Structure 1
Amino acid sequence: METQAEKAADFARLHERGCFVIPNPWDRGTARLLAGLGFRALTTTSAGYARSLGVSDYQAGRDHVLVHVRDLVTATDLPLAADLENGFGHAPEDCAETIRLGAEAGLVGGSIEDATGDERVIYEIAEAADRIRAAAEAAKGLPFKFMLVARCENYLHGRADLVDTIARLQAYQEAGADVLYAPGISTAEEIGEICRSVDRPVNVLGGIGKKPLSVCELAELGVRRVSLGSWLHSAAMTAFVNAAQDESFGYIAELIGGRQMDQWMKEGAG
């Protein structure tokens, strides 16, 4: 097994080699399946994990999320990053503490978003940048490279304002973020404009828009990282619900065999 510092170095190098897909498992089994399929790094899904506990997104809480992280870190030998929501608190110190605790749990990367979780919806840009600055300082104090992702949540909350989104991402870059992410951005024009407007690797949520862009198309626009958010969990749960309601059992003929899944999990365990 690689050390945390070795995983961190591997993870940082992935961002320098072009565009890669970083999928989002929600438990040990899905982490090992993804590792067995050949992915090079993993990141958590806040929505997928929360729903696996029987609660809605953002309701798991930091303590549960850290337990989840510790579990996934030991599931495979891949670098693990995490969706750390809004840092689990409004104060910059909350964001810094979440980064430190996440690193102690085994993470080599994590995201802090600018959605408040309350009636304000999105933090004012100066406050949001201060939160990223505190998280970046905590990350820089670690004995290894921690890839801090700053997320602008405008488009996920009905604020399709590209100018403000870019201004926020630029402010987060100046505050010390290593990766920039605006989930919900979908068009080639918008994604290209973001990539041209910042000097950090850009993460994109794959599969968005009427005609989702492929990984190759995103790479051509300058994207360095493509995450899948809660899509894999939603796909699995959609299949689960449809199968549970299928009284003809027609879905069984299309199933991946248990032996194949066991083989992938064995390979993914390292």
Structure 2
Amino acid sequence: MTGVERFRALHHGRVPDDPLVLPGPWDAASARVFAAAGFPALATPSAGVAASLGYEDGATPADAMFAAVARIVRAVDVPVSADVEGGYGLAPKELVERLLEVGAVGCNLEDSTAAGLRDPAEHAEWLAGVREAAGDRLFLNARIDTFVRGVDDPGAAIERAAAYVAAGADCVYPIAAPAAVLPLLRAGIQGPVNVLARPGQGPSPAALGELGATRITFGPGLQRQAERAVRETAERLAHRPRR
């Protein structure tokens, strides 16, 4: 079984309280930690990788992002999906080639830009081009940005999900959807649903699974948690009494 076949299989046949939990490594060292802990696959967060490389979220050059994903993939023997934001303006064929070149088994692709939400029909057409170029070689996770863009109507997310699934998305990701609307989203969406969890806050992954999540990711939450731990250690060292 290939890496992408293993990754795709992890999304199916799950019971409600056992969603697929995908930690988000931001570098090779964190990837090794998560793999050693027994997670069967990983999913990079673009914001976490950006922070590790010294960029603001959304400002990482494509070459730097793909190089970071390549280092993470080389560091572990579990499948790795890559958050490649909006695709960096690459044509579908080139995007697919670059993802396969670095060894990713899948990708997140979001449907908004700095200017706001993309037209769903146009975005679905672009996703269909990615699917055509990738065939079955990549798992496509279509991020839906309605909730983070101030569109609170679950129906808008469900409509976009239907268009993206029809275009070939393997999974949809209504990022930042409130936990209370997850059962409604689950009922209206065909196929796997990715839900964002916040480490140490809100419902547990198991609880989110019972509400309708197929898989759980954390965005940059784990990287920021690690950064806080480093900051606390640095502050203790900086204020240690001198002898």
Q: Give TM-score, length-normalised by structure 1.
A: 0.82
Call closer, same or farther: CA 1:95–1:213 in 2, change over 3 Å: farther
Q: In structure 1, what is the equivalent of residue 47 of structure 2?
A: 47
* 1:38–1:211 Cα change, 3 Å: closer
Contact 2:179/2:211 (CA < 8 Å) preserved in 1?
A: no
Corresponding position: 1:126 with 2:126: no
Question: Which whole-Å CA distance do the structure 2 matches of 1:96 and 1:202 have between them?
Answer: 25
Residue in structure 2 matched with residue 263 of structure 1 by the alignment: none
Give the RMSD, CA atoms, in angstroms. 1.9
State the identity as a percent.
34
Task: Map residues 125-204 of structure 1 onto 2, 5 A cutoff.
Answer: 125-140=120-135, 144-188=136-180, 190-204=181-195
2: CA distance between counterparts of 1:39 and 1:110?
18
Alignment partners' CA distance in 2, 1:154 and 1:243: 38
2:235 is equivalent to residue 245 of structure 1 = yes
Distance of 2:189 and 2:77 partners within structure 1: 32
CA distance in 1, matches of 2:103, 2:232: 36
Assess if the C-alpha contact under 8 Å between 1:130 and 1:175 holds in 2.
yes
CA offsets 1:80-131 (integer angstroms, 9 cap, x no match) = 1010100111xxx6244212310121111101110123x2x11111111112
Q: Is the 8 A contact 1:133 1:175 kept in 2?
A: yes
Runs (4 or more) in structure 1 with deviation over 6 Å come to: none
Deviations 1:38-74 (A, max 9, x none): 1110111111111111110111121111111211111
Q: Residues 179 and 208 of structure 2 are in contact (CA less than 8 Å); yes or no, is this contact kept in structure 1? A: no
Residue 100 of structure 1 pairs with residue 108 of structure 2: no
Aligned-pair CA distance for 1:36: 0.7
Q: CA deviation at 1:170?
A: 1.0
> What is the CA-CA distance between 1:205 and the residue it aligns to?
0.6
TM-score normalized by structure 2?
Answer: 0.90
Distance in 2 of aligned mates of 1:61 and 1:233: 19
- Where does residue 261 of structure 1 map in the other structure? none
Q: Is the 8 A contact 1:86 1:95 kept in 2?
A: no
Alpha-carbon separation, structure 2, partners of 1:56 and 1:114: 19
In the alignment, structure 1 residue 221 sits paired with structure 2 residue 207: no
1:11 maps onto 2:7 in alignment: yes
Q: Does 1:115 align with 2:112?
A: yes
Spell out, residue by residue over 1:3-57, the C-alpha distance to the aligned partner (whole angstroms, 9 max, x if none): xx62111111100131110010011100000011111101111111111111101
